[in-house]
Amino acid sequence: MLLLHGFPEFWYSWRHQLREFKSEYRVVALDLRGYGETDAPIHRENYKLDCLITDIKDILDSLGYSKCVLIGHDWGGMIAWLIAICYPEMVMKLIVINFPHPNVFTEYILRHPVQLFKSSHYYFFQIPWFPEFMFSINDFKALKHLFTSHSTGIGRKGCRLTTEDLEAYIYVFSQPGALSGPINHYRNIFSCLPLKHHMVTIPTLLLWGEKDAFMEVEMAEVTKIYVKNYFRLTILSEVSHWLQQEQPDIVNKLIWTFLKEETRKKD
């Protein structure tokens, strides 16, 4: 089981799932390229989506497996969708949290000003060095606000980040140059999408927090047209973007149900 985190996170965002699924799986929560202690090439070209996809393929090979259960959240969800499209033989089952099929995302953002506004950070991140500066000033105030504020933060009705949790995030992103790699992921996106070969043929579970401050819930509902296999969408009301951290018990239960049920391909 491979777990792909979002932005601005690292492997630690899957702490609840690492404990939960180790009873039946070898569970590996990665730091994506440029995050944490992974290699962090300087040039933005090193963070193109095809490089990120190849990273995951190489990691699976190095672990000695030909297939996996693939789970991705946010930006990690984007990569998970792309792996399922490009290397379907690698994925037994696909689970994505709060990110629609990439084609849905690109089409929706062009047609709906609300989503364009919610995704404004994609455009802000195209600016050299300034986004890194804004995240780091005032003792990483912007990063703390992202995780703790009423509008965007974790824990409306579920688990909140503890002081220790928040310190772990600040520690990772306060290392020299630690923000550039993560932000460089976004600096290539407009040259890579949309996809020509876009259908997913893997049994898929899409989990969605209804109160996501960054993604319109309608995108989740449209995603089903791009999955030519078993597809299940579960929308959790009053839950934020950070679903697997905010409601880990519910998320884990939904994942277990999906993993254990027989899934048949749609005719």
Residues annotated catalytic, as ranges: 74, 186, 241
Beta strands in 111-262, from DSSP E residues, in sequence order: 204-209, 231-236
* Count of other CB atoms within 10 angstroms of residue 76: 28
* Count of other CB atoms within 10 angstroms of residue 58: 10
CB 185 within 8 A of CB 82: no
Cβ-Cβ contacts under 8 Å for 236 (sequence gap 6 or more): 207, 208, 209, 210, 243, 247, 250
* Count of other CB atoms within 10 angstroms of residue 171: 11
Dig out the tokens for 170 from the structure: 């600040």
